[in-house]
């Protein structure tokens, strides 16, 4: 029996909007959920890297998930980032997210303390034994210092029933291609500037930062490719490449929050230690938004 797929297409790694005092703007989360539903986003990933999960208190983390789940009301899948470098804490977070009603979980590899590939397998097996929610593995070695090797991802997909996908934020396309050659694990690009390359080796979508400001574009790049209109998908992807890369000229999510604020979306600043962009970088970002028609002046 084939495994269920949580979503295909564009899953937006949602920012966590803040009030001026640094508290979470839960009302804005509701607005963003409605906006993404109306603009073609295929899934929402909340409290991940782009959602500033490392600086959220546990009660904030769970409340943000709850608000998104309640507001989505089944209209769009909500996937909660509940990964941790402490397996027991990760399990507690996953169980809490299930109680809230989330549709699935995004599980980053253990960071800082890291582990071996055998330890990774044991970590994910322990989490899977504690919840029946679908699990998307999250591979982002530039942040965690730990890479899920293709053979490890293939083994986890083959042997753990609830592992249903991989967010591949490792830019090594040779590794991604090799994984696709040895396993049918659904792969989501974790980098907007690699969406089409990942789709070209059999990927089924992207977990996107760009989608926070251009949800229809992110959706269309994926949908065109998956529907067989590969030339149109590639052309659209290349047209928006400059902005996709522009959102990573500083530490994510600093630039995308700046872009959203320039667009009048009022998501506030990032929490320290993330720090505002320099004026020159802001000006360059504003020019990109103007070029793509996302702001008018």
| Domains located in the chain, CATH noted | 9-227 (3.20.20.70)
167 is catalytic: yes
CA distances 174 to 145, 148, 180, Å, are 19, 14, 10
Percent of the chain predicted with pLDDT > 90:
98
Tokens of 231: 């030339």
Q: Which of 98, 155, 167, 257 is catalytic?
A: 167
Q: Return d(Cα 290, Cα 93) in angstroms, integer.
A: 40
C-alpha closest to that of 121 among 109, 133, 106: 109
> DSSP letter at 53?
G
**How far is C-alpha 158 from the geometric centre of its chain's CA atoms?**
23
Tokens of 296: 């008018």
Average confidence (pLDDT) over 90-117: 97
> DSSP letter at 277?
P
Backbone φ and ψ for 170, nearest 5 degrees, come out as: -95, 120
Q: In 37-123, at which residue ranges do the beta strands (DSSP E only) sit?
A: 43-46, 78-81, 104-108
Q: Return d(Cα 106, Cα 35) in angstroms, integer.
A: 22
At residue 3, the pLDDT reads: 86
Provide the pLDDT confidence category of residue 2 given band limits of 50, 70 and 90.
confident
pLDDT tens per residue, range 3-50: 899 999 999 999 999 999 999 999 999 999 999 999 999 999 999 999
Helix or strand or coil: residue 137? strand
Q: Which of 28, 98, 138, 188 is catalytic?
A: 138
Question: What is the pTM (predicted TM-score) of this model?
Answer: 0.96
Neighbours of 112 (CB within 10 A): 9
Q: Return d(Cα 32, Cα 14) in angstroms, integer.
A: 8
Q: Which residues contact 22 (CB under 8 A, 6 or more apart)?
A: 268, 269, 271
Tokens of 160: 């753990």
At residue 149, the pLDDT reads: 98
Q: In 159-239, at which residue ranges do the beta strands (DSSP E only) sit?
A: 163-168, 187-189, 205-208
Task: Give the chain's mean pLDDT.
Answer: 97
Average confidence (pLDDT) over 72-79: 98
Helix or strand or coil: residue 136? strand
pLDDT tens per residue, range 232-282: 999 999 999 999 999 999 999 999 999 999 999 999 999 999 999 999 999
Q: In 169-292, at which residue ranges do the beta strands (DSSP E only) sit?
A: 187-189, 205-208
Q: Say whether pLDDT at 1 is over 80.
A: no
Q: Are 45 and 11 in contact (CB under 8 A)?
A: yes
**How far is C-alpha 84 from the geometric centre of its chain's CA atoms?**
15
Neighbours of 123 (CB within 10 A): 22
28 is catalytic: no
> DSSP letter at 192?
G
pLDDT tens per residue, range 163-214: 999 999 999 999 999 999 999 999 999 999 999 999 999 999 999 999 999 9
């Amino acid at each position: 029996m084939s495994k269920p797929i949580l979503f295909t297409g564009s899953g937006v790694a949602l920012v966590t909007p803040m009030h001026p005092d640094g508290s979470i703007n839960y009302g804005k989360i509701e607005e963003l959920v409605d906006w993404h539903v109306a603009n073609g986003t295929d899934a929402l990933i909340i409290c991940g890297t782009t959602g500033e999960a490392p600086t959220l208190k546990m009660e904030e983390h769970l409340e943000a998930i709850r608000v998104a789940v309640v507001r989505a009301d089944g209209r769009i899948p909500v996937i909660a980032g509940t990964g941790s470098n402490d397996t027991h804490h990760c399990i507690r977070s996953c169980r809490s997210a299930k109680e809230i009603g989330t549709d699935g979980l995004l599980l980053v590899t253990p960071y800082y303390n890291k582990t071996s590939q055998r330890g990774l397998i044991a970590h994910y097996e322990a989490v899977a034994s504690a919840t029946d929610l679908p699990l998307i593995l999250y591979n982002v070695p530039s942040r965690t210092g730990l890479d899920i090797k293709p053979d490890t991802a293939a083994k986890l997909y083959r042997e753990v029933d609830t592992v249903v996908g991989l967010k591949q934020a490792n830019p090594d396309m040779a590794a991604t291609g090799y994984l696709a050659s040895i396993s049918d694990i659904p792969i989501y690009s974790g980098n907007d500037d690699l969406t089409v390359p990942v789709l070209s080796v059999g990927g089924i979508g992207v977990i996107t930062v760009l989608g926070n400001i251009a949800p229809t574009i992110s959706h269309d790049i994926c949908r065109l490719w998956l529907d067989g209109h590969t030339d149109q998908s590639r052309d659209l992807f290349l047209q928006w490449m400059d902005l996709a890369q522009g959102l990573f000229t500083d530490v994510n999510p600093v630039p995308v929050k700046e872009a959203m604020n320039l667009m009048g979306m009022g998501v506030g600043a990032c929490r320290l230690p993330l720090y505002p962009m320099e004026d020159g970088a802001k000006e360059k970002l504003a020019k990109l938004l103007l070029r793509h028609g996302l702001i008018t002046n």
